[in-house]
């Protein structure tokens, strides 16, 4: 677009051309017959909000010279100050929630006082960043307890307009707080007392520009009497010690608070476990964290086994190590397919021989993403009971009975009578 002043228009102004430190006066009104500069303000643009506006124009004067330029904004939310360069940049398009048109005008003044103009239109599009949503992907609660699930969300370029929770799997439960950052419900009774029940919940977060983020959370509900199963109540065999992950005597944890909100009130993260026989597990591990345990052992040779879980696969480093009296057991990778899908790992290639007395076992998390339920230390040979049947060597009449075989007072296998 071009607009010009009519040749007959009277425009009062004084212009000074600055060149090489000298000032050359220009006529105080356009000369009769002067050809006005031909101005181009450039092509129209379509930009995203909060991005840089760059204006670039040109002007030609066919009967003289262009001595100055001037950019001004004539429509839309103010974005630039007056600029006296034919190219102007460094201006930021305004934030907006709807399409906005900005119109800029370029004036060119020639040496005879003639002014030519042109305008350019810039369309500014709104660009919305969806809400940021963070969820703890798995929770475990016992039947009859109050189950809680929390969502953490924010919006970097606006505000949250709505939060909506829904249940998408598992027996229906009554949700409290379905439009807040935290839902809760009473974990229902489980019909199969050997298998945890899986509940899946989805949360949808919407911002003021209709940006949407969604996420899902798994909640496992375990039977309240799972510890009463006969196989879980069996006494430990002779020469075996079981250490529950949550029964540490010392620890180092990188983050404050117990994320699982179970069993203890220090900084170690403990949750109810869905593993067989129930109880608790330590989770949310981070590199450099460790747990220490005191354990009393008879003199002998032992192997260590652990009960571990991780939702990460083998492509992600999620390793841990065990030290017994500073004897290092080679670190292990954990990839079981789920945070509550536990598997037993045995360090059978690393037997450890110890003296009788109290010993320190340390569990060290080398990477993030490992859950631990328990550690077992099992004798493969005891100094005073070589076949580990509970009968001392000097009283054992059958010194080579198979491990965990029921024996009599003389260390010989008990035979059932007909």
Token reading at 181? 């950052």
Q: Is residue 399 part of a domain?
A: no
Residues 246 and 371 in one domain: yes
236 vs 212, which has greater pLDDT?
A: 212
Alpha carbons 414 and 408: distance in angstroms, whole number: 6
Alpha carbons 206 and 180: distance in angstroms, whole number: 12
Answer with the one of 224, 251, 284 that is the final residue of a domain.
224
Residues 215 and 347 in one domain: no
Q: Is residue 46 part of a domain?
A: yes
User: Which CATH number do you get for residue 357?
Assistant: 2.60.120.260
Q: What is the pLDDT of residue 240?
A: 87
Residues 218 and 272 in one domain: no
β-pairing, 290-297 vs 300-310, is: unpaired
Q: What is the pLDDT of residue 191?
A: 66
Q: What is the pLDDT of residue 3?
A: 38
Q: Mean pLDDT over all residues of the chain?
A: 83
Residues 121 and 136 in one domain: no
Token reading at 29? 């009104």
Model confidence at 22, pLDDT cuts 50, 70, 90, reads very low
pTM of the model: 0.47
Residues 85 and 166 in one domain: no
Q: Is residue 406 part of a domain?
A: no
Q: What is the pLDDT of residue 24?
A: 36
Q: Is residue 311 part of a domain?
A: yes
Model confidence at 188, pLDDT cuts 50, 70, 90, reads confident
**Residues 6 or more apart in contact with residue 253 via CB below 8 angstroms:** 266, 267, 268, 269, 286, 289
Residues 292 and 325 in one domain: yes
User: Which CATH number do you get for residue 138?
Assistant: 2.60.40.10
Query: Residue 10 pLDDT > 60, yes or no?
Result: no
Number of domains making up the chain: 3
Average pLDDT over residues 362-373: 92
Q: What is the pLDDT of residue 231?
A: 58
**Residues 6 or more apart in contact with residue 6 via CB below 8 angstroms:** none
Residues 246 and 198 in one domain: no
Query: Residue 194 pLDDT > 80, yes or no?
Result: no
Model confidence at 161, pLDDT cuts 50, 70, 90, reads very high
Residues 245 and 369 in one domain: yes
Residues 239 and 361 in one domain: yes
Q: What is the pLDDT of residue 350?
A: 83
Alpha carbons 198 and 339: distance in angstroms, whole number: 13
Query: Residue 2 pLDDT > 50, yes or no?
Result: no
Q: What is the pLDDT of residue 278?
A: 82
Q: What is the pLDDT of residue 402?
A: 66
Residues 373 and 234 in one domain: yes
Answer with the one of 224, 244, 267 that is the final residue of a domain.
224
Quick one: what percent of the chain has pLDDT higher than 70? 87
Alpha carbons 218 and 399: distance in angstroms, whole number: 51
Average pLDDT over residues 271-280: 87
Q: What is the pLDDT of residue 372?
A: 95
Query: Do the beta carbons of residue 155 and residue 132 sit within 8 Å?
Result: yes
Model confidence at 30, pLDDT cuts 50, 70, 90, reads low
Average pLDDT over residues 129-138: 86
Answer with the one of 88, 110, 125 that is the final residue of a domain.
125
- pLDDT tens by residue, 373-406: 999 998 888 777 777 777 888 778 887 776 667 8
Q: Is residue 398 part of a domain?
A: no
- pLDDT tens by residue, 56-94: 899 999 999 999 999 988 998 886 676 777 777 668 888
Query: Residue 187 pLDDT > 60, yes or no?
Result: yes
Domain range for 137 is 132-224
Residues 336 and 251 in one domain: yes
Alpha carbons 377 and 325: distance in angstroms, whole number: 13
Residues 302 and 174 in one domain: no
Query: Residue 417 pLDDT > 90, yes or no?
Result: no
Q: What is the pLDDT of residue 14?
A: 29
- pLDDT tens by residue, 237-273: 788 899 999 999 999 999 999 999 999 999 999 999 9
Query: Do the beta carbons of residue 353 and residue 319 sit within 8 Å?
Result: no
């Amino acid at each position: 677009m071009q607009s010009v002043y009519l040749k007959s228009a009277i425009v009062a102004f004084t212009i000074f051309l600055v060149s090489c430190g000298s000032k050359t006066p220009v006529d105080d009104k356009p000369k009769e017959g002067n050809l006005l500069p031909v101005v181009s303000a450039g092509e129209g643009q379509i930009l995203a909000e909060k991005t840089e506006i760059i204006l670039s124009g040109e002007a030609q004067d066919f009967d003289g010279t262009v001595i100055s330029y001037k950019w001004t904004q004539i429509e839309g939310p103010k974005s630039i100050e007056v600029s006296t360069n034919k190219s102007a940049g460094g201006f930021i398009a305004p934030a907006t929630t709807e399409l906005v048109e900005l119109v800029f005008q370029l004036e060119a003044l020639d040496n005879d006082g003639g002014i030519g103009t042109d305008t350019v239109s810039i369309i500014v599009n709104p660009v919305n960043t969806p809400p940021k949503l963070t969820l703890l992907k798995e929770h475990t609660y016992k039947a009859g307890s109050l189950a809680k699930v929390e969502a953490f969300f924010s919006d970097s370029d606006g505000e949250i307009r709505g939060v909506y929770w829904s249940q998408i799997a598992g027996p229906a439960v009554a949700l409290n707080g379905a439009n807040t950052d935290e839902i809760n419900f009473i974990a229902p009774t489980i019909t199969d007392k050997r298998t945890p029940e899986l509940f899946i919940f989805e949360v949808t977060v919407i911002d003021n520009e209709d940006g949407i983020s969604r996420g899902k959370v798994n909640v496992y509900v375990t039977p309240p009497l799972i510890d009463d199963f006969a196989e879980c109540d069996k006494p430990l065999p002779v020469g075996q010690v079981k250490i529950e992950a949550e029964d540490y005597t010392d620890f180092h944890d990188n983050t404050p608070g117990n994320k699982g909100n179970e069993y203890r009130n220090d900084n170690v993260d403990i949750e109810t476990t869905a593993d067989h026989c129930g109880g608790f597990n330590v989770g949310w591990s981070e590199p450099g964290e460790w747990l220490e345990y005191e354990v009393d052992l008879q003199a002998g040779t032992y192997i260590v086994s652990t009960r571990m879980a991780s939702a990460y696969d083998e492509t992600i480093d999620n390793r841990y190590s065990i030290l017994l009296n500073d004897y290092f057991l080679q670190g292990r990778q954990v990839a079981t397919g789920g945070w509550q899908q536990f598997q037993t790992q045995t360090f059978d290639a690393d037997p450890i021989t110890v003296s009788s007395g109290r010993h320190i076992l340390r569990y060290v998390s080398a990477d993030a993403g490992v859950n631990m339920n328990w550690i077992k230390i099992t004798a493969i040979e005891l100094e005073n009971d070589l076949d580990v049947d509970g009968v001392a060597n000097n009283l054992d009449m059958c010194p080579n009975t198979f491990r965990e075989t029921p024996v009599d007072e003389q260390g010989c296998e008990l035979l059932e009578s007909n």
